Amino acid sequence: MTNTRRQFLRGAAQLGAIAPFLTVGALAQRAAAADVESARFGSTAEEAYQIAYKAHEDLMTLPDLRMHGEEKIAMVVYPKMTMLDLVGPQFFFSAMMGSSVYLVSKDETLSPVMGDTGFAIVPTISMADCPNDLDILFVGGGTSGTVDFMNDQTSMDFVADRGARARHITSVCTGSMILGQAGLINGKKATSHWAVRHLLPNFGAEAVDARVVRDGNVMTGAGVSAGLDFALALLAQIRGEAYAKSVQLAAEYAPDPMFNAGTLSSADPKMGDAMHKMYATAIFAMDEASRRQKRE
């Protein structure tokens, strides 16, 4: 078996989380369960596998496409965080064939971590055991859970330590508050959820009203859903635009929102003002945490 064939088998299994039909077992199962009429996809399990393998080789000939790598990616998981901040980017990071994606928790028992909307994610590694040298450090956000994280010395020490050596320091939503508290965005342009973006200068950062902001090795995404745009941008930076586009297609990511109300500038002003005030408690707490850091 050639090295390329081995890479395909490993990569197809990894990409199976996004496109299960690429795994060898799933190919055989589908072919056995369905009468494949089009020769384009093969009439036997072996033919289907050969077609998939040839498609893999064809993709590798596309310019600027780096399909395989060995990136180490740490995604911090903590109680009461907004899980969509993490789940969207994790979906795209897991499509990076050859990469290792760690879901990192402070709890060494690796117990399920409950998010702020009532569902839990099971971490895969503790902060103590997480690799020291990372290609990507990622932190998502939330409200009260993010404030608790910012006030937890062990958690902040982890982010500061791994971030000091990571090739890419990243966040989505109020995760940039955590990066700021760890001293990782001082002097950088950054973004955050619109409700707290104005607090970024507290951490020495320049606030930018944009979905995704890149400044050197720091890349930050705006609120919640911006995690998808952020992940694609980072994927393109690391693996090339062609690879990012192929994963975008696999995910069928073609946003077409029903309403044009996803930003303060596009939403009804009265609704926007009321929504902003609803975040008053979180804004105060994050502001207070950042100012306490300055005093200390």
List, for residues 54-67, the tens digit of each pLDDT value: 887 887 777 777 77
The pair of three-digit structure tokens given for residue 68, joined into one six-digit string: 């395989």
Q: Among 15, 83, 127, 173, which one carries the catalytic annotation?
A: 173
Q: Does 32 have pLDDT greater than 60? A: no
pLDDT at 7: 57
pLDDT at 57: 80
pLDDT at 40: 80
The pair of three-digit structure tokens given for residue 160, joined into one six-digit string: 């500061």
Q: With CA atoms as reference, report the closest residue to 83 among 58, 117, 54, 46.
A: 117
pLDDT at 31: 46
Of 151 and 293, more confident: 151
Active site residue 173: yes
Span of 36-45, 73-82, 234-243 with lowest mean pLDDT: 36-45
Span of 127-141, 184-198, 234-248 with lowest mean pLDDT: 234-248
The pair of three-digit structure tokens given for residue 142, joined into one six-digit string: 């939330």
Q: Does 194 have pLDDT greater than 80? A: yes
Q: Does 38 have pLDDT greater than 70? A: no
**Does the 72-250+284-295 domain belong in CATH 1.10.357.10?**
no
> Could you give the 3-state DSSP secondary structure of residue 126?
strand
CA dist list (Å): 217 to 122, 128, 137, 169, 187 = 28, 24, 11, 6, 12
Please tell me the total number of residues recorded for the chain in this structure: 296
Give the pLDDT band of residue 20 (cuts 50, 70, 90): very low
pLDDT at 133: 98
> Could you give the 3-state DSSP secondary structure of residue 113?
strand
Of 47 and 5, more confident: 47
Question: What number is the average pLDDT over the span 112-138?
Answer: 98
pLDDT at 23: 47
| Domain limits, CATH 3.40.50.880, in the chain | 72-250+284-295
Q: Which amino acid is at 36?
A: V
d(CA 137, CA 182) in angstroms, rounded, equals: 12
Of 294 and 169, more confident: 169
d(CA 203, CA 293) in angstroms, rounded, equals: 9
| Tokens 């077409």 belong to residue | 256
The rounded percent of the chain whose pLDDT value lies above 70 is 85
β-partners of residue 213 are 220
pLDDT at 39: 67
pLDDT at 27: 46
d(CA 174, CA 293) in angstroms, rounded, equals: 17
Are 219 and 234 contacting, i.e. CB atoms less than 8 angstroms apart? Answer: yes
